[in-house]
Amino acid sequence: QVQLIESGGGLVQAGGSLRLSCAASGRTFTRYAMGWFRQAPGKEREFVGAINWINGRAIYADSVKGRFDISRDNAKNTLYLQMSSLKVEDTAVYYCATQTKPIVAPGQRWNAYDYWGQGTQVTVSS
């Protein structure tokens, strides 16, 4: 079984920064991409960004481009989401997920991902 555990969420003021982590554990698996999604109350799960685990290239939703940065640490099996210039509308539960099948590019739809973490709450106050 593959386990993804997010951490680093919390309460921050608008304009502030947070860094989320997603640690992978469990059985050995090949990950082709890992992504971050978020879901605010009453809204659908939304793509935030993803990284091609093989070549390290990241893509982002327009709403976070220039403010969020995705990185990975292969040795630690950990994915990161550095969030800066946070806005109230960034408030959501943030989830990490992984694609374990070969890809052309990281998926931007939630159903492209095979395993999910439990989520971590990010709350941005005004």
Dump pLDDT digits (tens) for 27-45.
777 888 999 999 999 999 9
Residue among 80, 83, 97, 93 nearest 123 (CA): 93
Q: What amino acid is encoded at 89 in this protein?
A: E
What is the predicted pLDDT for the residue at 101?
Answer: 86
What is the predicted pLDDT for the residue at 1?
Answer: 82
What is the predicted pLDDT for the residue at 75?
Answer: 87
Rounded Cα distance, 79 and 81, in Å: 7
- Per-residue pLDDT tens for 74-113? 889 899 999 999 999 999 999 999 998 888 889 999 999 9
- Per-residue pLDDT tens for 60-78? 999 999 999 999 998 898 9
Count other Cβ atoms within 10 Å, centred on residue 61. 16
If you count them, how many residues does the chain have? Answer: 126
Q: Which residues make beta-bridge pairs with 2?
A: 26
- Give the model's confidence band at 51: pLDDT under 50 very low, under 70 low, under 90 confident, else very high: very high
Count other Cβ atoms within 10 Å, centred on residue 71. 13
pLDDT of 25 higher than 90: no
Q: Quick one: tokens of 104? A: 């052309």
What is the predicted pLDDT for the residue at 116?
Answer: 97
- The percentage of the chain sitting over the pLDDT mark of 90, rounded to a whole number, equals 80
Rounded Cα distance, 58 and 117, in Å: 19
Residue among 117, 124, 43, 56 nearest 89 (CA): 124
